[in-house]
Amino acid sequence: MIVINLNIKGLGGGVKAKYLKHIIYKESAEFVCLQETKVMNFSDSKCFALWGDNNIGWVLNEGENGAGGILSMWNKEVFEYRSHVKGRGFIVVPGIYVKMNCLCVIVNVYAACSNSDKAVMWDALSTIKSYSQNEVWCCCGDFNAVRIMEERKGVRGLSSQKKEIKDFNKFIDRNVLVELPLVGKKFTWYKADGSAKSRLDRFLVSLEWLQRWPTSKQYVLEREVSDHCAIVAKSWAKD
């Protein structure tokens, strides 16, 4: 399964729409997860224009008063939507991946900055995950967290980062998730002046995902329309 993830930093504007349409086509995307869309109203026509196809499903989590915002989109020919759950900072979409006739759960995350808010989200997602033990699970997004200190450069707040790292790794371990091997850039977010950079965006998958796609990797693309890089999860093996 081919999934694209990007914190797009505002979905408005033709340049970003053109870029998104380009990478969807270039990567043959089957599912797309966007964060920080900053849109409160969305429609089928807007979705179709972004993807360049009219056989696309979508779910929008508007965030709070238009701030933030999360959008999940998928190609209906390869992903049969079953349901969705929206919470503060996430969208969970279970569906059937048609090519393999398997139940997949795609989680789109846009985590808050504060550790306390993230802790609430970790608990909510862990509860949902506990009810889907045998499903193929993919959790991606802007986690606003790192796993080790080396994934942040030029960022202050050492004490809070230590707790962030501990809580994030605890969430990963608790849900038996595995991070896909990284190809490309080491960091996914860059401050405009280059003085700070972090690895905030990633793909975490279940063991069942790796059984289906054992050669899966996450590829970090060049940063073009946002302060975040788009990342793509894909496998060299044929689906």
Average of per-residue pLDDT across 3-11: 95
The 10s digit of each residue's pLDDT in 46-95 is: 999 999 999 999 999 998 766 689 999 999 999 999 999 999 999 999 99
Residue 210: what pLDDT?
95
* CA distances to 4, 74, 102, 113, 163 from 94, in Å: 17, 11, 10, 27, 31
Percent pLDDT > 90 in the chain is 85
Question: Mean pLDDT over all residues of the chain?
Answer: 93
Percent pLDDT > 70 in the chain is 97
Q: Does domain 3-234 have CATH number 3.60.10.10?
A: yes
Pick from 92, 90, 67: nearest CA to 82:
92
The 10s digit of each residue's pLDDT in 110-166 is: 999 999 999 999 999 999 999 887 789 999 999 999 999 999 998 776 678 889 999
Backbone angles phi, psi at 61, to 5 degrees: -105, 105
Residue 237: what pLDDT?
58
* CA distances to 145, 152, 158, 196, 225 from 148, in Å: 9, 8, 12, 16, 27
Residue 193: what pLDDT?
85
The domain locations on the chain are: 3-234
Residue 165: what pLDDT?
95
Residue 133: what pLDDT?
74
Residue 41: what pLDDT?
85
Average of per-residue pLDDT across 18-43: 94
Average of per-residue pLDDT across 161-176: 95
* Spatial distance between the Cα atoms of 199 and 189, rounded to a whole number of angstroms: 6
Pick from 35, 62, 57, 33: nearest CA to 47:
57
Pick from 44, 102, 98, 99: nearest CA to 71:
44
Average of per-residue pLDDT across 210-224: 95
The 10s digit of each residue's pLDDT in 36-48 is: 999 888 999 999 9
Q: Which residue has the tokens 């224009």?
A: 49
